[in-house]
A and B are shown apart, each in its own frame.
Chain A
Amino acid sequence: MAECHPVGFQWVMEAKARGAKVVHVDPRFTRTSALADVHVPLRAGSDIAFLGGIINHVLSGDAYFRDYVVAYTNGPVILREDFRDTEDLDGVFSGLDPDNRSYDPGTWQYHGTEARAASGQRDQRFGGSVRADGSVSGAARGESHGSGGPAISRTEPERDETMTHPRCVLQVLKRHYARYTPEMVERVCGVPRDLFRQVCDLVTENSGRDRTTAFAYAVGWTQHTTGVQYIRAASVLQSLLGNIGRPGGGILALRGHASIQGSTDIPTLFNLLPGYIPMPHAHHDRDLESFVRADEAGKGYWGNMRAYLVSLLKAYWGDAATEENDFCFDYLPRLTGSHSTYETVMAQLEGTCKGYFLMGENPAVGSANAKLQRLGMARLDWLVVRDFSLIESATWWQDGPEIETGELRTEDIGTEVFFLPAAAHTEKDGSFTNTQRLLQWHHQAAEPPGEARSDLWFAFHLGRIIREKLAASTDPMDRPLLDLTWDYPTRGELAEPDAEAVLAEINGRDAGGAPLAGYEQLEGDGSTSCGCWIYCGVYADGVNQADRRKPGDRQDWVAGEWGWAWPANRRVLYNRASADPEGRPWSERKALVWWDAERGEWTGHDVPDFQKDKPPGHRPPEDATGPEALSGTDAFIMQADGKAWLYVPSGLTDGPLPTHYEPQDSPFPNLLYRQQRNPVRHLLPPHPDNRYQPSGGEPGTEVFPYVATTYRLTEHHTAGGMSRWQPYLAELQPEFFCEVSPELAAERGLEHTGWATIVSARAVVEARVLVTDRMAPLTVHGRTLHQVGLPYHWGPNGYSTGDAANELLHLSLDPNTQIQETKAFAVDIRPGRRPRGPAALELVRGYRERAGIDERTGTEP
C-alpha cells in the first residue's frame, strides 16, 4: 500500500499512531513491509491456503464472533442434501461438467429455497445452463442463462440457530477448512508456522465486540485464476470475525488508479450497466419484464431492480422511453457471450472485431500476453488511441517487438491508427470515486495544451457528429443513437461539455425535473430518471455534493461532509451490523449506528444503512417482497436473504467456498487436493503464442522452476503512459529490472546491476538485475523456492524504456471476472541479455520443446 498508494498510506500511519498493528503479507519486502509491524513473505499464488488456514484457526478455536455469525451471516442456514463439498470429491464441488469446464450450481443452493446473488452471476440458475458457445465456460452471465425458469422462491431458508446441524453452513465450513492446518500453510505457502500463528493471533485478538480488523488488498489478490475466491476467503474470515459493517473493519480494494472504483460503478465493463445492473443477454432477455423478473431478488433492495433500470433507461432515452415501448429496453446492447478484453483480442485475431478504442489504456505493455494484444490490433481496420503520450499501443505497427522479429511487417498491416492526445485530470472537471466509494470532485486548473481534449469532450462530440450524420436515417438500427438524450451544455472555446450537467443526469430527476435526493425515490413507472441508482443523491438539492471539502478537524470523525459516498453518503456499508440484533452497539468503543427506541428510528454517527424506521424486532409479513421483506435484523440489505454469505449459494461460477488451487503455471503440485488447478478457470482457445506450461509433477515442469510475480513501483504508473515520459519520474526508476534473492543470483550466476533473461512458454524478456535480501527464498513443499519480482511498467517507447514483463504472461482467466493471472506464474531466469530478432523466437521455441509443450499442455480441467 505504501508502494502503490503512498498518499492513502498516510491513514495507515495515522492508525499506527493510534495503536493499530500492521501486518503485511507479500512475496516481496516492499516499502509497506518497511513500515509494517510484521512482514509475512509467502509464495505468490498461495493466498487461499493462507487465508483458509486462518479460517481454520478461527473455526477450530471457536474464535469467531458467535452472536454476529448467528444473527447476520448465513452460518446457521442448512444446505441441500445433494451438495458435495471438495472434501467429498477430492477438490471439486458437486455439479462439475469437466468437458465444458463449468459447474451446474443447482446443488449449491440452500435447502428448500433459492437465493439470488447480490452481484456477479445473478441469473445463473435461471433456467439451467444453456450455453451459446461450448468453448467458453460460463464466462459471462449470459452463458449459463436460459429462457424461462422457476419462479423466485420467497420461502425462508431452513436454519439451525445452534449451528450444529451437520449440513448447516458453519459445519460445512468447518469440514471444508479442517485440512488447512498451520503445517499445511507452511508447506504450501512457505510461511513458517510460528509466523503464521502470530498472524492468526493478531487477527483474532483484534476482532470482536471491542475491536475490528480491516483487510486491504490490491491486484495481488484479484489477478489469479481464482481471484474472486481470494476476496471471498477474506469475506468469510471477516464475516466470521464480525468485521463487516463496523468502523475499522471491512475489506478494502485498493484500486489500480484513480477512479477505477468509479469505472465499475458506472462501468467500462462489458457485462454491467451503471449501478451493477447486469447487461441483458441477446437470446434470453427479450423484454423488460422477463429481464427484471430474472434478476430481481425476492428480498432486499435488488427487489427494486425495475425502478433502477427504468430510471436508467429514462436517463438514456428521455421522452422516447415510454411504458408502451418498454422504456426502450430493446435499445440496450445485448451480450452473446463473454466480451471481455481478452475475448476481444481473440475476436480481433479471428477478424470479427474490426475497430478498437483505447482510452487511457496501453495493452501492448499492460495486458497479459502483450504480443497477442499487438497481433490482434494488427488485424483491425481501425484503431483509435487517446493518451498523453505516444504509447506502445499506438506505435507497435512501426517499431513493435514483432517488427524486430519479422513476425509482422509494417507494409502488410492494414490497421488505420488514429492517435488523439488526451487531457490530464488537471485539465478538466470531473469526479474520482475511490475505494471507499467516496466521490471527490476536481476542478480544471489549466486548459489542455494543443489538440489535447478531455474524454468527456471526445465522447460528447463524437456522439454529436455521429448523430448529425445519421439525422436523416430511417433505419431502425439508428434509433437508439438518435433518441439518446445528448444535450449537455458546452462552454469555452473548446466547447467542453459541462461535467456537472453529466453529474446531475447521473443523480437523476423527478417528473418535474427537480434533482432527486436518494434512490428510495426512484420509480419503475418512468416518472423518474437516474443515470446510476447508487449515485442518486450526489446532486441532491441541485448541489454538487462531491465537491464538499469541509476539513476533517472541523467535523466529527466520520467526516460525512467531505465529498459524498455512495449510497446515500454512507461511509460504512451494511452498518446495521455495527449494532447487535436488538439495535444496541456491540460496544461503546465501536458504536456507529443504533436504534433510538424513543424516536423510533435508526441513528448514529454514520448514515444508517437500513430503513430508518424499521425496528430491530420487525418481522415482515409472509407475502412481502423487496426491501419490505427484510426483517429488523437483516443487516445485509442487498443480499437476497439479508445475510452476509459465509457460503455462496448462487452467483459464483467456480464454487460456493474458496478452495486452494495452484496457479495455471505452477512448479508445485496441489498438496491440498488431487485437483491441480481451478477446474473451471477460463482458458482461451488454443493459440501458438499462448501456450501453457506443465505444472506440478508433470514432465517438463522443471524447465520453468521459479515463481514470478508482476507488480508496480511507487515511481511509475501502470503501463507507463503517465510516468515513463516524465523525466522527473523516469530518473527515479530509469529502466526495467527484476528483483532476485542473493541465493537465486548465486544459483543462476546473476550479477547485481547486470542483465538477466527471463523466459516463459510465451516469450523472452531481459531486465537489469537487482539482487536484494528483500526477495526471500521460501521453503515450499520441502524444497527451496526462489521467486522473481518483475515490475511491469516498461515498454520500448518513452524516456525510460525496457521490455514489458507482460510479454511472459498467458491468458488463463478467473471464470467470474475474466481477469488474467499475472500475479503468479512460472519462469526460468538466466544471466545475460536476450537474443534479438528471430533468435528470440528460437529461444522460446527451444524451451517449449524441452518442456514438451503442445496445445493440450495445461488445459486439463
Chain B
Amino acid sequence: MTDDTAARAAGSTGAPPRVGFFTDTSVCIGCKACEVACKEWNAIPEDGLELTGMSYDNTQGLGASTWRHVAFVEQRKPLGGQEPGVGHGNHEDHEDIDVFAAARGLGAPPGSPLAPDGRTELRWLMSSDVCKHCTRAACLDVCPTGSLFRTEFGTVVVQEDVCNGCGYCVPACPYGVIDQRPGDGRAWKCTLCYDRLGVGMEPACAKSCPTDSIQFGPLEELRERAAARVARLHAAGVTDARLYGADPEDGVGGDGAFFLLLDEPEVYGLPPDPVVTTRDLPAMWRHAAAAAVSLTALAAVCFAGRPR
C-alpha cells in the first residue's frame, strides 16, 4: 500500500495528503516540552514518579499514558551533527556561509584530554519517540472492534469509546508503542492530535518544540526535507546520521512518523528492522484454510468410506 492509497483504502475519498512527523534528533535539546504538551492537550494522566537513573530519562518509554518520550543517551563519543537544518525565517542573505565547513574546524582536537582519566569527549543524544503511524499498521489489522482506524490524514487512531480493551493490538505493534492503561483496560496511543488536525492546527508536541526537532507536515514533503538534511550532514562529515522509518519499502511500509538518528536505532531503544506483525497472517490463514479443507476432505472420505 502506498502513502497515497493509505487513507483512500480506508474509505476516505478526497482525503488531504498523508501527514506525519519528522523528528530530527540532531537538534533536540531534551527539554521534554513535547512530553508535557502532549499530556496537557490529550489529558493523559501522570504515570509514575520514579528516578530511573537512565540519564535524565525518567519517562522510560512509550505507553498508554506516555505518547511522547524523550530518550537521553550518554556516550563517550565526539560531538557531532548537532547543527540545525531548518530555520524559522529567510536566510537567503547567509546562504554563502558553509556552516559545516565552519563546524568541521571545531571541537576539541583529537586526543586532548579533558579529564585525568584520558576521556576525550562526550556526546549526549536526545530523541523524542512517538507512535510511528505505520503505513501497514498491525494494530489496526488485529483490532476486532474497529476502534483502531486509519483517518483521512493517513494516521492511525484509537477511538476510546469503541475500544473494548481486548488488548490484541498490544503484542501486534512491532515498536511496543500501544498499551492498555492500568485500571482502565483500554488501549491508548498517540493520535497525532487528530482533534487538532481537524481544525487545521499542528499537533501539540510539534507546536511546543522550540528547536523544530519535531516537524509536522505532509509526509512527502517531510521525506524530501529529511533526505536533504541527511545529505547535508553526510557532507559535513557526520556519517552516523541516518533516517529511520522513512523507507516505504521497509517492513512496515514506512512510518508516518520517522526520525533522523545519529546512531544505530538500538541505541535509542528502537527495533533495527521492524516488520508488520500481521505480515504472515494471509499465508497463515491460507495454510489454516488448506488444513481445514484437507481435514474436511479427510473426514468426508472417512465418513464416505464407512461401511454402511
Interface of A toward B, CB cutoff 8 Å: 2, 6-7, 9-10, 13-14, 16-19, 21, 29, 31-39, 41, 192, 194-195, 198, 202, 552-553, 713-715, 727-735, 737, 743, 752-753, 768, 770, 772-774, 776-779, 784, 799-800
Contact with A along B27-65 (1 / 0, CB 8 A): 101111101100110000111111111011011000000
The answer for the CA separation of A733 and B54 in the assembled complex, in Å, is 11
Contact (Cβ within 8 A) B210 A9: yes
Contact (Cβ within 8 A) A6 B29: yes
The answer for the CA separation of A854 and B14 in the assembled complex, in Å, is 82
Residues of B within 8 A of A752 (CB): 53
Contact (Cβ within 8 A) B119 A773: yes
Residues of B within 8 A of A770 (CB): 53, 55
Contact (Cβ within 8 A) A768 B46: no
Which stretch (B79-87, B160-168, B242-250) binds chain A?
B79-87
Which stretch (B122-130, B140-148, B266-274) binds chain A?
B122-130
Closest 7 CB pairs of A and B: A727-B46, A734-B49, A6-B31, A753-B53, A34-B124, A19-B97, A37-B106
Contact (Cβ within 8 A) A773 B122: yes
**Residue among A31, A33, A777, A779 having the largest count of chain B Cβ atoms under 10 Å:** A31
The answer for the CA separation of A257 and B31 in the assembled complex, in Å, is 16
Contact (Cβ within 8 A) A768 B84: no
Contact (Cβ within 8 A) A18 B91: yes
Residues of A within 8 A of B79 (CB): 34, 36-37, 39
The answer, among A18, A772, A800, for a CB contact under 8 Å with B49, is A800
The answer, among B45, B46, B88, B114, for a CB contact under 8 Å with A776, is B114
The answer for the CA separation of A778 and B113 in the assembled complex, in Å, is 10
Q: Beyond A6-B33, A34-B29: 18 further Cβ-contacts under 8 Å?
A: A6-B31, A10-B210, A16-B84, A17-B91, A19-B102, A33-B122, A35-B29, A37-B79, A198-B108, A728-B35, A730-B49, A731-B47, A731-B59, A732-B58, A734-B50, A773-B74, A774-B74, A774-B124
The answer, among B40, B84, B98, B109, for a CB contact under 8 Å with A13, is B84
Interface of B is mostly: loop
CB-based nearest B residue for A41: B114
Instruction: Verify if B13 is at the interface (C-beta below 8 Å from A).
Output: no
The answer for the CA separation of A293 and B89 in the assembled complex, in Å, is 50
Contact (Cβ within 8 A) B32 A714: yes
Residues of A within 8 A of B45 (CB): 727
Contact (Cβ within 8 A) B89 A553: yes
Contact (Cβ within 8 A) A728 B39: yes
The answer, among B30, B36, B103, B109, for a CB contact under 8 Å with A34, is B30
Contact with A along B99-141 (1 / 0, CB 8 A): 1001100111100111111010011111000000000000000
Contact (Cβ within 8 A) B49 A194: no
CB-based nearest B residue for A8: B210
Contact (Cβ within 8 A) B106 A38: yes
B212 CB to nearest A CB, Å: 8
The answer, among B46, B58, B76, for a CB contact under 8 Å with A773, is B76
A771 CB to nearest B CB, Å: 8
CB-based nearest A residue for B55: A772
Q: List 11 A-B contacts (CB under 8 A).
A: A10-B210, A13-B212, A18-B87, A32-B29, A38-B107, A194-B108, A553-B88, A728-B46, A729-B36, A768-B51, A777-B117
Residues of A within 8 A of B210 (CB): 6-7, 9-10
A194-B116 CB under 8 A given contacts A35-B29, A752-B53: no
Instruction: Verify if B306 is at the interface (C-beta below 8 Å from A).
Output: no
B79 CB to nearest A CB, Å: 7
Residues of A within 8 A of B82 (CB): 34-36
Contact (Cβ within 8 A) B114 A13: no
B108 CB to nearest A CB, Å: 6
Contact (Cβ within 8 A) A715 B114: no
A643 CB to nearest B CB, Å: 33
Contact (Cβ within 8 A) B49 A799: yes
Residues of B within 8 A of A713 (CB): 56
Instruction: Verify if B5 is at the interface (C-beta below 8 Å from A).
Output: no
The answer for the CA separation of A663 and B164 in the assembled complex, in Å, is 64
Contact (Cβ within 8 A) A38 B108: yes
The answer, among A37, A198, A714, A768, for a CB contact under 8 Å with B109, is A198
The answer, among B51, B85, B94, B211, for a CB contact under 8 Å with A9, is B211
A767 CB to nearest B CB, Å: 10
A147 CB to nearest B CB, Å: 54
Residues of B within 8 A of A772 (CB): 55, 74
Residues of B within 8 A of A715 (CB): 32
Contact (Cβ within 8 A) B74 A734: no
The answer for the CA separation of A29 and B121 in the assembled complex, in Å, is 10
**Residue among B40, B51, B87, B90 having the largest count of chain A Cβ atoms under 10 Å:** B51
Contact (Cβ within 8 A) A732 B59: yes
Residues of B within 8 A of A732 (CB): 32, 35-36, 58-59
The answer for the CA separation of A776 and B117 in the assembled complex, in Å, is 9
The answer for the CA separation of A729 and B36 in the assembled complex, in Å, is 7
The answer for the CA separation of A777 and B114 in the assembled complex, in Å, is 8
**Residue among A14, A36, A192, A732 having the largest count of chain B Cβ atoms under 10 Å:** A732
The answer for the CA separation of A10 and B91 in the assembled complex, in Å, is 15
Residues of A within 8 A of B85 (CB): 17
A562 CB to nearest B CB, Å: 12
Contact (Cβ within 8 A) B51 A734: yes
Contact (Cβ within 8 A) A21 B108: no
**Residue among A38, A728, A752, A779 having the largest count of chain B Cβ atoms under 10 Å:** A728
Residues of B within 8 A of A31 (CB): 29-31, 124, 126
Residues of A within 8 A of B122 (CB): 29, 33, 39, 773-774, 776
CB-based nearest B residue for A2: B29
The answer for the CA separation of A732 and B30 in the assembled complex, in Å, is 11
A16-B53 CB under 8 A given contacts A31-B124, A33-B124, A773-B122: no
The answer for the CA separation of A35 and B119 in the assembled complex, in Å, is 19
A777 CB to nearest B CB, Å: 5
B35 CB to nearest A CB, Å: 7
Contact (Cβ within 8 A) A552 B29: no
Those of B148-190 within 8 Å (CB) of chain A: none
